Structure 1
Amino acid sequence: MSDTTYDPVTLDIIQNALEAVADEMFAAQRKTSMSAIIYEVLDLGTGICDGKGEIASSGAGIPAFVGVLDKAVKGILAKHPIETIKPGDMFASNDPYWGGVTHLNDMILALPVFSEGRIIAWTANIAHWNDVGGMVPGSMSSDATSIFQEGVRIPAVKLFDAGVANQAVFDILYINSRLPDYLRGDLWAGIAGVRIGERRILELVEKYGTDTFEAALDDFMELGERRARAALKTLPKGVYHFAEEQDDGAIYKVTIEIKDDEFVIDLRDNPKQSGSKNSSREGVEISAQLAFKAVTDTQAPGNGGFFRPLRVITKPGTIFHVEEPGALGYYSEVEIRLFDLLLRCLAPHLPGLVPAGNFASICGTVVGGPHPDHGRHYTIVEPQLGGWGAQQGRDGNSAIFSGFHGDTFNCPAEVAEARYGLTVDQMALNPESGGEGEWRGGKGIEVHYRVRADNNFLSVGYTRSRIPPWGVAGGLDGTPNYVEVLRPGKATEHYSFGTDIPLNTDDVVRIVTGNGGGFGDPKQRSRAAIENDLKNGYLTAERAAEIYGHVSGKEGTSA
């Protein structure tokens, strides 16, 4: 082992190495998981925390998932006295009331890394599991009113004790899932991920020394804080308010106060917790962290130091601070609505930063039942792609996930057909009109799943289903998200939220996600851009005549 060194180059090498370690953890978990939502959709996150549980580096995956990991580790440390934690221990938690943060489908694994008799870091990951029990297959029910209806609760317990598996926990997990084989594979993939992270960290420690490693983490936190405080000084100081109506008529409200040394988000004046659409206090902090990062310094390290100037105020018993035993199955829709709320609050004061509205929903879609080829139960869990809003100088992106959901992908039609009891009849861009402007909103998608057997089911949770993505500066609003069930010879059924909707052979689940809002007066759209929209099917001739009248004489091309 080398002598202790604190030179900036060495510290920078260690800091960059930690980013690579987190990415390797991500790759290992992805390549060994059983479920397509992990290995195709990438519905997971990996990271490394310091010995106190502050996030130090993050891998790929969902930003809102990476934001869970430090809070989960701190929950573990709050429950387990430090002197009771030993080398070889590994912890599991999915319970939002015990450090799980999100909902019961999302399992967190955390492993303490020891050197010289003390914890110097934690490796951690989180991934969505297809089924953890509960009142319905897929474990997500919009009818749930209590967390006890949503599945098995694992409250920050030891999965391994000094390297020895706690078989009782494994057995409890397996027996509570309708898909035990998939759960087993996904669990061991997560175990492999945190273990490879531990191995790589110990290699760094062997090369540079324990003290130097810890000094690099401290230096990285200080860098994050310096960057955040420098960016905070450039923001307009003041107190800003915003309120937004939701699909169900509820009004969400926020007050943001920007000071020289603090960024305060006050969410106390909001509706009481209700049903399964609630968020934990820690989950709300993640939404606030993502918004804070977006308006300050997007290139700075998103570690624990960066978020020190941020303060979030909530009221227990509200949708933004659920109290036990409130349900959290659709927590993500609350958090993504909050992310929108925060950015819209700041948009008038930060011109050009925030684009027009996007489809902004996870659009969680769960389909399952007996597989027509072998009769075993299957469950497909799919978030959906959608359209982003336009901004000055460019059209919105089409068919990608929301910024809140991050670096994830849709499940390819070929994989869905091979693994699940469905036929994918169509996967195309949303042809509906909406979101026109000088720069148009991106297009959502239209996907048709045809069911191949009887006694299947559908559960969905879509927001922005009544109030569409907003247009800016004269741009037109986009279009809503929704699901239809098309049954042979029967009337079309329309859903935004629904649980355990029966499906039978040849029923079609038609998924439609929103087109983003437009930016600027549609009459100012260039001739070339309009012609390109017509050529590519983004616009019909009838809609062009309605919105643009005669084709604008403005030349040029759209971004």
Structure 2
Amino acid sequence: MTKPDPKAWSGKVHSYRPAADWKARVDDRLELHEDVAEVLDPTDYEVIRQKLWTINLAHGDTITRISGSPVLATLDFNMSILTEDADVVMNAPYIQFLNAGAPLGIRYIMENYSTAPGIDEGDIFCCNDPWIAACHQMDVLFAAPIFCEGKLFGWAANAGHQYDLGGIVPGGWPQNAEDVYSDPVVLPPFKLVEKGVMRRDLEALYLRQSRLPDMVALDLRAQLAGVRFAREQIVQLCGRFGAATVKAAMRQMVDQAQESFRKKLLSIPDGTWTETRYIDEPMPFSRTTQRTQLSVTKKGDRLTISNAGTDAQTPGTNGIPFVTWAGSITGIISVSMLYEQLFAYGGCERQIDYEATPGTLTCVDYPAAVSGGILHAVTMMNAMQAVLSRMMAASEELKGDIVAPCAEFMLPVLIGFNDRGEYFGQAILDGFACGSGARSFGDGVDTGGPNFSPLSMILNTEQLEQWYPILCLYRRSDPDSGGAGKWRGGNGLRLGITPYRAQSMDIVTNTGGQGATSQNGQGLLGGLPSPASHYVIRKGTELATLMAGKRLPQTAFDIAAEETLWLGPKSNGTPLSKGDIFEFRVGGGGGYGDPLDRDPQLVARDIELGAISPDAARNVYGFDPEDSNARSRLRESRGKWRKLETSDETRVLATGEPDLAIHEYVVATDRNGERVLACAKCGERLAGFSGSYKDGALVTEVAITTIPSAPDPARYIDDEMVLRLFACPGCLTQVSADIARAGEPVFEEMRLAAT
């Protein structure tokens, strides 16, 4: 037997990435519909475009109406319409990275299965293999070929989070999995529906993996119904306008997205932008961190995206496969730079070259554990959001669209039996109520939700209590949970629950990045990151007595308790007993710009509304109604920060070009025959044109707890984490803030290409 080539991107060891000649291995008997109308009426184009958009939305409604799952009820899915050769024509406004595997999975099916078992009208394929098409095993892909005029016209696909597909921990997020064999079952693509008929033998095999097969059977049918609905609608559309006209519109949508993205890239100067993020605990209680790095090099109208500098994969649940990493990139591009294209982002990938190093944490090889690490997709999306925002800051056309990263995702899972002896085991998805990041022109939205999932939602408390044997004690906006800045990141929330009519209940915790130790949303261009979240259990409270008096606590610490348990970022089951209170804090978004540049009237309003505390107003914003000099003293204290010791730079001659703003506080300008980076407020030289603007800045390292309401990371991790702050030595404006392991070199963030 021939062993798989470890260097091949085949889906065996490395992830599947179709080779340039993949179509040569598609069976000739599978005819592709490539006929395109020579003339496309603009009105017909817009009607078809809008119809494809509404098909995707109705596709989502179909899933939620049929599934009984609280997960799919929160819109934890996405869908897409694709061409005959799997170019994405239109994505949907749900979780952006979730269906990123559709083009890969479909091309894998066409390349490997077009001869046997074949691709026929009425078929629907299923796959949850993370090395082929799934972000993790619970996000199952369904893909339906669409035939018109006897030829393969296109595909309808969705990926949704199914309730439970096995593995060593109920719900599908085993944090103690060392490799994939402890994860939920992995299923490469297979034909579940053949010429319109469900394969009952394969359905039985599929459901046998689940602890809750009846629920999963509903999930299965909901997703099948979704792709079947979309397929029928597109066939009807072809009947109305003609298949060649619809195909011409689809081609134009992809081309239009590509051209829009290409033009926007041309408005950004060439250079490389980098973001370093850490992720905690490859295994529960390991108390270590690992490093990821995302670098985006822009040259002309193309991007080269690399994960060089990311740590090698290790046993544990900190890894994501290539499909998730690439999807985190296109997902952010879709909402940040192509929102006017109605999520028709497929064309943007024509302008991207991925340089992914396999065997690293953001491109893991088989057989890594991946299901429990899915939340690190949010970490990578936040990294891309930070990088893209810094790039857009260098474009006059695009800087109005800048948004700071949102919070990392907190995901507690409840497991146990209700008072009827019925098993339950699934997540509370209130992480979708995180604060959104600050923008270049305004504050983020409190509990506004993640940037990467415009339509995601949280369940009403009544629905939570319907699904789980719990009482919701409070659900409230959380002061000081957004990042401080000229524009403030939106605050997150706190949710408190207690068991109600439960025979037993355990809490499993899952967290992305450093969301429970060091930070949530990264700050931008001088703004502070938002503080870490938490999971906490207050055991042995007098809740019953309080409730008998018709009162409820507003936080877990409003009531006495016999014991307080702080749960780590990853844990695999802590009992929750009657009268205990479980609280988890959902993080806020990152801040934008120097907090000392915030309008004092806005700070006063925030205090009045309870969005920030008086301590945060005084210590971070320099706002004290009884001390008019508080802000100026804070600014002057930055003069004591140390100057970086930097190496010699490459001198770039003056270009004669106009000044170019590349940052809220940094401008590229000519000075004394040299092109330099200078402070936009006072003109202080910070670096040569191709240098790092941090080279000329003042810097200090302070404790993470300097961030308002931030916990001490040392509770959970041994690596010392510090908050680094950088300021212009001339006017003392804060130009950057980041979190790093103590002793590591300064992160460059950006370096423009010398011309």
Q: TM-score, normalised to structure 2's length?
A: 0.68
Q: How far off is 1:522 after superposition?
A: 4.1
Is the Cα contact below 8 Å between 2:69 and 2:215 reproduced in 1? yes
Q: Which residue of 2 aligns with 1:316?
A: 358
Instruction: List per-residue Cα deviations over 1:272-296 (Å, max 9, x = no partner).
Output: 1231221111211111213444564
Is the Cα contact below 8 Å between 1:54 and 1:303 reproduced in 2? no
Q: How far off is 1:532 after superposition?
A: 2.5
Task: Tell me, in whole angstroms, the C-alpha distance in 1 between the residues paired with 2:172 and 2:195.
Answer: 32
Task: Tell me, in whole angstroms, the C-alpha distance in 2 between the residues paired with 1:294 and 1:17.
Answer: 20
Q: Which residue of 2 aligns with 1:497?
A: 570
Greater shift after overlay, 537-546 or 315-324?
537-546
Give 3-state SS (helix, strand or coil) of 2:168's partner: coil
Alignment RMSD (CA, Å): 2.6
Equivalences for residues 453-464 of structure 1 within 5 A: 453-462=502-511, 463=513, 464=515
Q: How far off is 1:126 after superposition?
A: 1.3
Equivalences for residues 154-303 of structure 1 within 5 A: 154-247=187-280, 248-274=288-314, 275-293=316-334, 296-300=337-341, 302-303=344-345
Cα gap change, 1:433/1:544 in structure 2, threshold over 3 Å: closer, same or farther?
farther
- Aligned counterpart in structure 2 of residue 550 of structure 1, from 624, 627, 640: 624
User: Does residue 185 of structure 2 align to residue 144 of structure 1?
Assistant: no
Cα gap change, 1:189/1:491 in structure 2, threshold over 3 Å: closer, same or farther?
same
Greater shift after overlay, 20-29 or 6-15?
6-15
Cα gap change, 1:394/1:171 in structure 2, threshold over 3 Å: closer, same or farther?
same
Q: Which residue of 1 aligns with 2:735?
A: none
Q: Which residue of 1 aligns with 2:464?
A: 416
- Aligned counterpart in structure 1 of residue 380 of structure 2, from 323, 326, 338: 338
Q: Which residue of 2 aligns with 1:446?
A: 494
Give 3-state SS (helix, strand or coil) of 2:104's partner: helix
Task: Tell me, in whole angstroms, the C-alpha distance in 2 between the residues paired with 1:270 and 1:42.
Answer: 31
Q: Which residue of 2 aligns with 1:15?
A: 49
Is the Cα contact below 8 Å between 2:403 and 2:440 reproduced in 1? no
Is the Cα contact below 8 Å between 1:433 and 1:543 reproduced in 2? no
Instruction: List per-residue Cα deviations over 1:392-417 (Å, max 9, x = no partner).
Output: 44222111322234420112111000
User: Does residue 159 of structure 2 align to residue 126 of structure 1?
Assistant: yes
Task: Tell me, in whole angstroms, the C-alpha distance in 2 between the residues paired with 1:4 and 1:476.
Answer: 53
Is the Cα contact below 8 Å between 1:103 and 1:328 reproduced in 2? yes
Task: Tell me, in whole angstroms, the C-alpha distance in 1 between the residues paired with 2:592 and 2:318.
Answer: 31
Is the Cα contact below 8 Å between 1:390 and 1:396 reproduced in 2? yes
Q: How far off is 1:27 after superposition?
A: 1.2
Greater shift after overlay, 232-241 or 3-12?
3-12
Q: Which residue of 1 aligns with 2:368?
A: 326
Q: Which residue of 2 aligns with 1:37?
A: 71
Q: How far off is 1:473 after superposition?
A: 5.4
Amino acid at match of 2:319: N
Q: Which residue of 1 aligns with 2:428?
A: 382
Task: Tell me, in whole angstroms, the C-alpha distance in 2 between the residues paired with 1:473 and 1:238.
Answer: 17
Amino acid at match of 2:479: P
Cα gap change, 1:4/1:411 in structure 2, threshold over 3 Å: closer, same or farther?
same
Is the Cα contact below 8 Å between 1:74 and 1:99 reproduced in 2? no
Q: TM-score, normalised to structure 1's length?
A: 0.91
Q: Which residue of 2 aligns with 1:557?
A: none
In structure 1, stretches of 5+ residues that fail to align are: 555-559
Q: How far off is 1:91 after superposition?
A: 0.8
Instruction: List per-residue Cα deviations over 1:212-256 (Å, max 9, x = no partner).
Output: 222222222222222222222112112334434444432222332
Q: How far off is 1:422 after superposition?
A: 1.1
User: Does residue 579 of structure 2 align to residue 506 of structure 1?
Assistant: yes
Q: Which residue of 1 aligns with 2:604?
A: 531
Equivalences for residues 345-360 of structure 1 within 5 A: 345-351=387-393, 352=399, 358-360=405-407
Greater shift after overlay, 61-70 or 428-437?
428-437
Is the Cα contact below 8 Å between 1:481 and 1:496 reproduced in 2? no
Greater shift after overlay, 389-398 or 176-185?
389-398
Q: Among all aligned residue pairs of Structure 1 and Structure 2, give the percentage whose two residues are the same amino acid.
A: 22
Give 3-state SS (helix, strand or coil) of 1:516's partner: coil
Q: How far off is 1:63 after superposition?
A: 1.3
In structure 2, stretches of 5+ residues that fail to align are: 1-35, 281-287, 394-398, 541-561, 630-755
Cα gap change, 1:363/1:61 in structure 2, threshold over 3 Å: closer, same or farther?
same
Task: Tell me, in whole angstroms, the C-alpha distance in 2 between the residues paired with 1:98 and 1:545.
Answer: 52
Task: Tell me, in whole angstroms, the C-alpha distance in 2 between the residues paired with 1:346 and 1:435.
Answer: 19
Give the number of aligned pairs: 549
Is the Cα contact below 8 Å between 1:242 and 1:253 reproduced in 2? yes
Instruction: List per-residue Cα deviations over 1:85-139 (Å, max 9, x = no partner).
Output: 1111111111112322x11111111111112221101111111112111101101
Q: How far off is 1:339 after superposition?
A: 2.3
Q: How far off is 1:474 after superposition?
A: 5.1
Q: How far off is 1:510 after superposition?
A: 0.8
Is the Cα contact below 8 Å between 2:80 and 2:91 reproduced in 1? yes
Cα gap change, 1:478/1:308 in structure 2, threshold over 3 Å: closer, same or farther?
same
Is the Cα contact below 8 Å between 1:23 and 1:58 reproduced in 2? no
Cα gap change, 1:205/1:139 in structure 2, threshold over 3 Å: closer, same or farther?
same
Amino acid at match of 1:333: L
Q: Which residue of 2 aligns with 1:370?
A: 417
- Aligned counterpart in structure 2 of residue 58 of structure 1, from 91, 98, 119: 91
Instruction: List per-residue Cα deviations over 1:307-336 (Å, max 9, x = no partner).
Output: 200111111111111111111113433322
Task: Tell me, in whole angstroms, the C-alpha distance in 1 between the residues paired with 2:262 and 2:482.
Answer: 40
Name segments (4+ residues, structure 1) moved above 6 Å. none
Is the Cα contact below 8 Å between 1:448 and 1:509 reproduced in 2? yes
Cα gap change, 1:138/1:495 in structure 2, threshold over 3 Å: closer, same or farther?
same
